[in-house]
Amino acid sequence: MLSVSALIRFYTVFKYGSSLTLASDDLNYIKSAAVLLEEGRLVFHQYNEPTVFIMPGYPFFLGGIFALFGTGLEGMQAVRLIQVILQVFSLYFIYRIAAYTFNMTAGIISLLLLAFYMPSITAPGFLLTESVFTFFLVLIVYVSLLYIDKPGLKKLMAIGFLTAAATLIRPTMLLYPFLFILYVIFRKGFDIKRIIKAAAVIFSVVIVFMVPWWVRNFNEYNRFIPLSAAGGNPMLQGTYINYEQTKDNTVYYKLGETALETNDIEMAVAFERIKKGFGDNAYNYIKWYTLDKTKFFWGTVFYWKEFLGVKTGIVIIHHYFLLLLGFLGFIVQLVTKNPRYMLPLIIMVYFNIIHCIYMAFDRYAYPMIPFLAISAAYLIAYSFSKIKGF
């Protein structure tokens, strides 16, 4: 199944190449990596000013590959091929998680569910953070599950390193150690010595790898910026119900002299809109920031253009099959008191909450789909096991 998955994805990359683009964030990442490689500066939207709009991990990833293969079409194609390899490794660890947590049948089924899931096939072709971030996320969950059954210092250090690596790609992962500690308490009880040791080791490693980013930001902006300063625009966009802006509800504001100043302004405007929205239209805003954004997060598919002749409708059916069985699988695990796979559920709830505060849509939910596939695979395997004679 891993070989089949790899062949499908390599074929897609070779067939479509530069057609695999959103012509938005991916172009900015390419520019960022090229400038980083040539001049040693991290930029994103604007060439003439440093940025904290993004985390530095993905530009460094691109820059390393561009250093070997150039910044032209060959270099970009090399990135796609390497991302395919990383995704195949992700699929391998997804199998390992399912087999370790449940059984080999669940592992095989989880691979079957993901091998032909079109967003999983096309994602490595986009020069975006999705494939690399998913690799680190899947790996960190695997190591965390191993730690629960056989604790060890090396595993805690690995969790710290993987947390830092994932955070340097997407800032939302910085709080993962708290989720992990919550899971440790859930599985092992409130052992204060174990908790203090785990937290101390993980955060020590995270800090070591994050310090260079903090120092760089302080030198550039003379203030402590622990992650990225890009929350203003998505938070502001998220204040519009159904993301609909009209002449009547759009707030116009003056841009700052730098992207950082503009972000601060957008954050202030967003908080004002939130305050007014919950005051004047409480029911709709509560619904928007809970149920409606959750629907946007899970209910649409990161498949914005059709490839390989696969219609969007088919992909939507596949997507909802995963959603239905995956969430039902979590319910069955809770009912049957099978707590081993609750860590991914904790992560999914956390990401859902974070993105409901800002913006929630399918691309941000994409890294969660493998965990749904494993839960769906568990449910299918569990159902088969209950069939007499299977």
| Per-residue pLDDT tens digits for 145-176 | 999 999 999 999 999 999 999 999 999 999 99
Residue 246 pLDDT class (50, 70, 90 cuts)? confident
pLDDT for 128: 96
What is the C-alpha separation between 385 and 388, in angstroms, rounded?
Answer: 8
Does residue 268 belong to any structural domain of this protein?
Answer: no
Does residue 267 belong to any structural domain of this protein?
Answer: no
pLDDT for 231: 82
Confirm whether pTM is higher than 0.75.
yes
* Mean pLDDT, all residues of the chain: 93
**What is each CA distance from 109 to 98, 134, 253, 276, 372, in whole angstroms?**
9, 19, 51, 48, 12
How many CA within 13 A on the CB side of residue 355? 25
What is the C-alpha separation between 370 and 326, in angstroms, rounded?
Answer: 10
**Residue 37 lies in domain:** 2-230+281-386
3-state secondary structure 57-89: HHHHHHHHHHHHHCCCHHHHHHHHHHHHHHHHH
What is the C-alpha separation between 139 and 203, in angstroms, rounded?
Answer: 18
Residue 111 pLDDT class (50, 70, 90 cuts)? very high
> Does residue 259 surpass a pLDDT of 90?
no
> Does residue 237 surpass a pLDDT of 80?
yes
What is the C-alpha separation between 163 and 61, in angstroms, rounded?
Answer: 16
Does residue 253 belong to any structural domain of this protein?
Answer: no
What is the C-alpha separation between 325 and 318, in angstroms, rounded?
Answer: 11
Does residue 275 belong to any structural domain of this protein?
Answer: no
**Helices 176-188 & 192-221 angle (0-180, nearest 10):** 180
Does residue 255 belong to any structural domain of this protein?
Answer: no
Phi, psi (deg, nearest 5) at residue 150: -145, 85
Tokens of 16: 């479509």
Cβ(165)–Cβ(57) below 8 Å: yes
Does residue 308 belong to any structural domain of this protein?
Answer: yes
Does residue 242 belong to any structural domain of this protein?
Answer: no
Does residue 347 belong to any structural domain of this protein?
Answer: yes
Total domains in the fold of the chain: 1
Phi, psi (deg, nearest 5) at residue 41: -110, 145
Model confidence pLDDT, tens digit, residues 57-108? 999 999 999 999 999 999 999 999 999 999 999 999 999 999 999 999 999 9
